[in-house]
Amino acid sequence: MSRLSWILSCAVFCVLACDRRADVERSPMTPERAEPAPRWGLVIHGGAGTIDPSNLSPEQEREYRTTLDAALSAGYAVLESGAPAMDAVEAAIVVMEDSPLFNAGKGAVFTHDGHNELDASVMDGYTQQAGAVAGVRTVKNPIRAARAVMTDSEHVLLASGGADAFARSRGLEQVDPSYFGTPMRREQLQRALERDAVVLDHGGSDKFGTVGAVAVDQQGHLAAGTSTGGMTNKRWGRVGDSPIIGAGTYADDASCAVSATGHGEFFIREAAAHSVCARMEFGGASLEDAAHAVVFDQLGAIGGEGGIIAIDARGMMAAPFNTPGMYRGYRFSDGSDGVWIWAQDHPREAAAHE
Ligand code: ASP
């Protein structure tokens, strides 16, 4: 290569590199990626809980599988176009929020007072930026509101009416609060009120549904997001782990991206999502070992039920859960693909589950 073309190549490289860096605030902790991810793709969940095959009719099971597949397709198409992981996370979660099957967006569980109060969060592993909303009642897609908090405010977490007002001010679609409820969720509240119990949206076919997604894009950057209605019969403005960065959601290109589902109070106490990343970054654990240790050792030790999905910059993934089932699926650029519901569905996870 002549001296002139060498200088020109360097100049082009610098312009491209500066351009990529100019629009994001990057953490000094975030490593530069020397090369693209060996494989890219996404992992999703639709909630973990006490589900067994007898609780789901074949028709219901088909609907869950179809919707999980549609969420994967939406996210994968975004990644295939070369867009960032965060776009894929949002696209996949919107599909699940718009489905009444899951406890997020349409189909969210009811509070003690008969409202739907929704929580959501996102984190970008490349920029280390994050956004979240808690207790929103009118923004149709809370995950979009969480992303707007990240990209369009100087804050990380907005709550209740203020968060809805912010979403409105950013032009996000609003709905009448009655949009979110379904007859099935109302029955669940009725049953919980009769038992006077705060019920995790877990346990039986009627107790599932927080949704989440983690993705690695073609550049090897990570993102995570989680969206939920929380727990049936929750009161006093209760907020779970889903909108808490580090508990229900976390992403860092240096380690992994994580979305959690389960009994939120336990996930908050264990800083569950961040713990997976910390075990990798500071303890040198593999993604799979880190994820399993958080679910089975940390959460298991204090009685926290649920599961997580996690992905790293090389496209490795883990989806451990300590409940009998977790709606989940993945799709990667090497052709691996699928959706699962029960532990016995998936031999590697089933082994880890025992
Ligand atoms: N983690 C959610 C919460 O505690 C519930 C769930 O994942 O189903 O609000």
Q: Is 212 in the pocket of ligand 1 (CB under 6 A)?
A: no
Q: Is 323 in the pocket of ligand 1 (CB under 6 A)?
A: no
Q: What is the Å distance from ligand 1's center to 305 Cα?
A: 10
In whole angstroms, what is the distance from residue 324 CA to residue 54 CA?
Answer: 12
Q: Which atom of ligand 1 is nearest to the CA of 239?
A: 9
Probe target for ligand 1 pocket from 50, 206, 242, with the most ligand atoms within 8 Å of CB: 242
Give the tens place of pLDDT for each residue, 245-262: 999 999 999 999 999 999
In whole angstroms, what is the distance from residue 183 CA to residue 247 CA?
Answer: 31
Q: Is 201 in the pocket of ligand 1 (CB under 6 A)?
A: yes
Task: Give the pLDDT of residue 55.
Answer: 72
Pick the residue whose CA is nearest to atom 9 on ligand 1.
230
Give the tens place of pLDDT for each residue, 257-285: 999 999 999 999 999 999 999 999 999 99
Q: Is 310 in the pocket of ligand 1 (CB under 6 A)?
A: no
Report which DSSP code applies to 259.
E
Count each helix (H run) and each strand (E run) in the chain, helices first. Answer: 11, 12
Q: Is 241 in the pocket of ligand 1 (CB under 6 A)?
A: yes
In whole angstroms, what is the distance from residue 181 CA to residue 108 CA?
Answer: 6
Q: What is the Å distance from ligand 1's center to 199 Cα?
A: 10
Q: What is the Å distance from ligand 1's center to 265 Cα?
A: 9
- Is the pLDDT confidence value at 349 over 60? no
Q: Which sequence spans correspond to the domains of the chain? A: 33-353
Lowest-pLDDT range of 47-51, 82-86, 240-244, 339-343? 47-51
Give the tens place of pLDDT for each residue, 105-149: 999 999 999 999 999 999 999 999 999 999 999 999 999 999 999
Statement: 33-353 belongs to CATH 3.60.20.30: yes
Q: What is the Å distance from ligand 1's center to 209 Cα?
A: 8
What lies within 8 Å, CB to CB, of 66 at 6+ separation is none
Q: What is the Å distance from ligand 1's center to 81 Cα?
A: 32
Quick one: which of 249, 251, 247 has its CA closest to 267?
247
Q: Which two tokens stand for residue 258?
A: 């994580």
pTM: 0.87
Angle subtended at Cα 16 by Cα 11 and Cα 22, rounded to the nearest 5 degrees: 120
Q: Is 315 in the pocket of ligand 1 (CB under 6 A)?
A: no
Pick the residue whose CA is nearest to atom 7 on ligand 1.
261
Quick one: which of 263, 259, 316 has its CA closest to 288?
316
Q: Which two tokens stand for residue 123?
A: 């984190």
Catalytic positions, written as ranges: 210
Q: What is the Å distance from ligand 1's center to 320 Cα?
A: 16
Task: Give the pLDDT of residue 32.
Answer: 44
Report whether 88 contacts 215 (CB < 8 A).
Answer: yes
Q: Which two tokens stand for residue 63?
A: 């609907």
3-class SS letters over 38-65: CCCEEEEEEEEECCCHHHCCHHHHHHHH
Task: Name the percent of the chain lying above pLDDT 90.
Answer: 77
Q: Is 46 in the pocket of ligand 1 (CB under 6 A)?
A: no
Q: If you average pLDDT over residues 35-54, what whole number do you get?
A: 82
Q: Which atom of ligand 1 is nearest to the CA of 265?
A: 4
Q: Is 117 in the pocket of ligand 1 (CB under 6 A)?
A: no
Q: Which two tokens stand for residue 286?
A: 């593999």
